[in-house]
Amino acid sequence: MTEKIPNPNVARGFTLIEVMVSIAVFMLIMGSVFACWRCVVNGKVIAENAAAAAQRARVGMRTVEQALTTAEISKANIQYYAFLTDTSGKFASFSLAGRPPSDFPGSGLFGDNVERRITVDVESAGGTNNLVMNQAPLLAALNDVNTPYPITLARDVSVFMLEFWSNQDSQWETSFDLTNDFPPLIRVTLGVGHPLNNPDVPYDLIVRTIAMPCQPH
């Protein structure tokens, strides 16, 4: 009986097992590539969010500092000039009468009426906490413009805290009850942005100690 010799010109095909192994190896390689790509993209997003949060925090803190350092009090008209603070909730807030400079956000809308009441607090919008400043003419009843003008100073706020220096106790206090005077110093803490899995840890945290006007008139 003559043995059949394979024809070398005929291509040999792949078996089903070989095809399945090849596909499995290809899928493993693609899975690794996709995981690396996802890490790169996530890292880029986190870096961009952190940079944006830092910029927002700096701009917001600068505005808060300007508002506090230009505050005024007139004890003869305390109903208009009262200095109000609230630190009872998760986020602090304050309201004051001030005469901010011409480069202060929103100054162009008030014309010659530069003296106004400024209120800064944290407001929730669409599930995000934003630091918002509202301004209105100080003597609103005598002006045509009575609606407060809001400006968002910082978005995605996770920390906004006020502390007040007590000369009597030589320490920081978490509340200030006087409405006709200023504390000598206010320490403001602003945190913006947070990781998805920890909303109370900000990407960027700024702390400023601000000297208040020392002689109310």
pTM of this prediction?
A: 0.71
pLDDT at 186 exceeding the cut of 90? yes
* pLDDT value of residue 142: 45
* pLDDT value of residue 76: 80
- Inter-residue contact 190 to 131 (CB < 8 Å): yes
Listed residue (158, 147, 161) closest to 116, CA to CA: 147
d(CA 100, CA 70): 6
Residue 11 or residue 140, greater confidence: 140
Q: Mean pLDDT lowest for which of 11-20, 108-117, 139-148, 198-207?
A: 139-148
Structural tokens at position 1: 């009986």
Q: What count of other Cβ atoms lies within 10 Å of the Cβ of residue 2?
A: 4
Residues of the chain with pLDDT > 90: what percent?
Answer: 35
Question: In this structure, what are the phi and psi dihedrals at residue 80, rounded to the nearest 5 degrees?
Answer: -100, -30
Average pLDDT of the chain, as a whole number? 81
